[in-house]
Chains A and B, each alone.
Chain A
Amino acid sequence: MARNTLSSRFRRLDIDEYDENKFVEEPDEAAAAAEPDPVPEVEALLRQGDMLQAFHTALRNSPLNTKNQAIKERAQGVVLKVLTSFKSSEIEQAVNSLDRNGIDLLMKYVYKGFEKPTENSSAILLQWHEKALAVGGLGSIVRVLTARKTV
């Protein structure tokens, strides 16, 4: 046998990189225009006590199309703040006021919130999860897992 049959150096080569027909991710179409910053508006609404409006505003301006991680983190922080400031009894009403896309978006934020748990966030997020699941079903969770544009 040749000496290099025992060598496993080839295992460090990624042969798919050299394939001419390699799949190259499509460049993102037109970078999204700078999203109007929702943070101060949402915070103002929260101070006023208008939970529902704050909720809708935070969800409406979510940065799905940008690749900018900082914007996404900020938006996520805001949504998390809104979600945790809801009282348990009001969650159901808020969930019912959303349409199909809103439920999917809410589920995305809930799972994003699970990724970085803080003191009390998990408990309240689980309640949001339960209510959103009742409306969106398993399909909304599947769409969180398969989504290419993340929150």
Chain B
Amino acid sequence: MAYHSFLLEPISCHSWNKDRTQLAICPNNHEVHIYKKAGEKWNKVHELKEHNGQVTGIDWAPDSNRIVTCGTDRNAYVWTLKGNVWKPTLVILRINRAARCVKWSPKENKFAVGSGSRVISICYFEQENDWWVCKHIKKPIRSTVLSLDWHPNNVLLAAGACDFKCRIFSAYIKEVEERPSPTPWGSKMPFGELMFESSSSCGWVHSICFSESGNRVAWVGHDSTVCLWDANKKTAVASLSVETLPFLAVTFITENSLVAAGHDCYPMLFTYDESQGSLTFGGKLDVPKQSSQRGLTARERFQNLDKKASTETNNVTLETLHKNSISQISVIAGGKAKCTQFCTTGMDGGLSIWDIKSLESALKDLKIK
């Protein structure tokens, strides 16, 4: 497990390029820094300065090599690499609150921005005017949209919001694509159509993710729950109330397994049993370094007793790799169906790359189905 500490400030958001040699991060300010991997080290190669507010979302389109960023200044910029410089193009989102998350669609001809104005802006490029245009999905979103994920058919979009619901909308733009074929989510998909809405659990939906096939969607809520809905089964939402602090990020690593991470600073595995329609906890995915336990001297024992009224040698430092909440997970290699590596960034300013094979060998009873 490789851990690299980039900064002392939290990493607000990150995105990898196609071959995973470069990483774009926001170091908790108005800029985006692009780092290039050189052996074991990371060198900063670009600084993207255009936003006037904190950058809350970055997405790097793998094929067209464009970066879209969105921020609290209610703007989004699409950056294209010209020579050795990233040039921004402003996208008018027509929102009056901060933008919170942004995602390129699978075909990279449009992107979606979730914002505090209770609206999702779907932006596409209009050739005639050489300009990015946006359309809004408004109803029935009642609060800030915190997270977005696209279905592989480039039309359906899952959105998790602060009104405790997960919804799937159609973001079909007839100017840029063909009519989509029917899916398990429905067959009529005009723009803005609500294909699915979960019943309320009680927590803000921090993160949402489609599986590789697009037939399953999983989300995590602030009430410490993980939920999954299988469009093919149409039974009740499979939800699991966990005993840990709430999660902030979730992703599929196979069609049946989820990795979620959040305020407990380590990723956890969850497995979906299709026959029973239930989610179960699969294991804690952290292999902390075993720090040498040195015995306490007598003097330290008395000090402990005096200060803390206990003689226990409780370690006050976290034993996990990340020393603060993990805010984002992304799949690096293998896709969402056969993930071999994923990466996490967090509020401790660090980035960890997790290798599934080494995790499986290190943690003996880990079964990833």
Q: By the criterion CB–CB under 8 Å, are B200 and A139 in contact?
A: no
Instruction: Give per-residue flags for B187-206: 1 if the beta carbon is below 8 A from chain A beta carbons, else 0.
Output: 00000000000001011000
Q: Which residue of A lies closest to B119 (CB)?
A: A21
A21-B118, A143-B224, A147-B223 as given contacts; A138 in contact with B243, CB under 8 Å: yes
Min C-beta distance of A15 to chain B, whole Å: 12
Per-position contact with A for B29-53: 1 when CB-CB < 8 Å, else 0? 0000000000000000000000000
- List of B residues within 8 angstroms of A148 by Cβ: 164, 200, 202
Q: How far is the CA of A100 from the CA of B281 in the complex (A)?
A: 14
Taking a contact as CB atoms under 8 Å apart, the answer to whether A23 and B143 are in contact is yes
Interface size (B, Cβ < 8 Å)?
17
In the complex the two chains form, is B143's CB within 8 Å of A139's CB? Answer: no
Q: In chain A, what residue has the closest Cβ to B222? A: A146
Chain B positions 234 through 248: 1 when the CB is less than 8 Å from some CB of chain A, otherwise 0: 000000011111100
- A143-B202 in contact (CB<8A): yes
Residue of A21, A23, A138, A139 most packed against chain B (CB within 10 A): A139
Q: Nearest B residue to A148 by beta-carbon distance?
A: B202
* Chain B residues, Cβ within 8 Å of A146: 202-203, 222-223
Interface flag for B301 (CB, 8 Å): no
Please give, as numbers and ranges, the residues of chain A lying within 8 Å of B246 by CB-CB distance.
Answer: 139, 142
Interface string of A129-144 (1 = CB under 8 A from B): 0000000111110110
Cα A138 to Cα B242 in complex, Å, equals 9
Q: How far is the CA of A100 from the CA of B245 in the complex (A)?
A: 16
Q: In angstroms, how far is the closest chain B Cβ from the Cβ of A77?
A: 25
Decide: B245 and A142 in contact? CB cutoff 8 A: yes
Query: B118 near A142 (CB under 8 angstroms)?
Result: no
- Interface flag for B284 (CB, 8 Å): no
Would you call B4 an interface residue if the criterion is a C-beta within 8 Å of the partner chain's C-beta atoms?
no
Q: How many whole Å from B26's CB to the nearest CB in chain A?
A: 27
Q: Is the CB of B224 within 8 A of A139?
A: yes
CB neighbours (8 Å) of B244 from chain A are 137-139
Interface residues of B in 198-255 (CB under 8 A from A): 200, 202-203, 222-224, 241-246
The answer to whether B224 touches A142 (Cβ under 8 A) is yes
Residue contact B241 to A143, C-beta cutoff 8 Å: yes
Q: Does B87 have its Cβ within 8 Å of any Cβ on chain A?
A: no
B142 interface residue per 8 A CB criterion: yes
Bound together, the chains give a CA A104 to CA B239 distance in angstroms of: 15
Among B200, B241, B246: residue with most chain A CB under 10 A:
B241
Residue with the highest number of chain A CB atoms closer than 10 Å, among B222, B224, B242, B246: B224
Chain A residues with Cβ below 8 Å from B242 are 137, 139
Q: How far is the CB of A73 from chain B (nearest CB, A)?
A: 22
Residues of B within 8 A of A142 (CB): 222-224, 245-246
Q: Complex formed: what's the CA distance from A138 to B164 in Å?
A: 20
- Which A residues lie within 8 Å of B224 (CB)? 138-139, 142-143
Question: Contact residues of A with B, CB < 8 Å?
Answer: 21, 23, 100, 104, 136-140, 142-143, 146-149
- Top 3 nearest A-B pairs by Cβ distance? A137-B243, A139-B224, A146-B223
Task: State the B residues within 8 Å of A (CB).
Answer: 118, 142-143, 163-164, 200, 202-203, 222-224, 241-246
Can you show 12 pairs from A to B with CB atoms below 8 A apart? Answer: A23-B142, A137-B244, A138-B244, A139-B241, A139-B243, A139-B244, A142-B245, A143-B224, A146-B203, A147-B223, A148-B164, A148-B202
